[in-house]
Amino acid sequence: MPRATNNPASRKRRKKVLKRAKGFFLGRKNYRQANETVMRGLVFAFRDRKARKREFRNLWVLRINAACRSCGISYSRFIAGLKKACIELNRKSLAEIAAKDLKAFSKLVELARKK
């Protein structure tokens, strides 16, 4: 009985890896090294999709805090005041308001202070 090599599937798998490794440097166009590098890159991509969410939230908090300090209130008191005033704005939109429209942000600070 002839030996089965699974040739079409193997070639497809290798081509898929080498396609992802397009533009890699030196020996990383070789299948074995390309496969290691592609797998490593996929791990980074998965990890950093999660990390991006954390980093943006930190950036928004930082911007809101800076705007709050300039209006004379701490970030935690501002957020607590907004919650008590039933103002449900997320941090992304609050950071946008803080950066673009300081008058509107100062009105939000006044509403937070009253509560």
Residues 6+ apart with CB under 8 A from 13: none
What was the pLDDT predicted at 98?
96
What was the pLDDT predicted at 11?
93
What was the pLDDT predicted at 2?
81
Measured in degrees and rounded to the nearest 5, phi and psi for residue 70 equal: -70, -25
What was the pLDDT predicted at 3?
83
What was the pLDDT predicted at 107?
95
pTM to 2 decimal places: 0.78
User: Rounded CA gap, 47 and 92, in Å?
Assistant: 22
Contact 59, 96 (CB under 8 A): no
What was the pLDDT predicted at 100?
95
What was the pLDDT predicted at 5?
84
What was the pLDDT predicted at 95?
97
3-state per-residue secondary structure call for 16-68: HHHHHCCCCCHHHHCHHHHHHHHHHHHHHHHHHHHHHHHHHHHHHHHHHHHHH
Q: What is the pLDDT along the chain (115 residues), one digit of tens a residue?
A: 788 888 899 999 999 999 999 999 988 889 999 999 999 999 999 999 999 999 999 999 999 999 999 999 999 999 999 999 999 999 999 999 999 999 999 999 999 999 8
What was the pLDDT predicted at 102?
93
> How big, in percent rounded to 5, are the helix, strand and coil portions of the chain?
80, 0, 20
For the beta carbon of residue 81, count every other beta carbon within 10 angstroms: 19
User: Where do the domains of the chain lie, and which CATH numbers do they carry?
Assistant: 8-114 (1.10.1900.20)
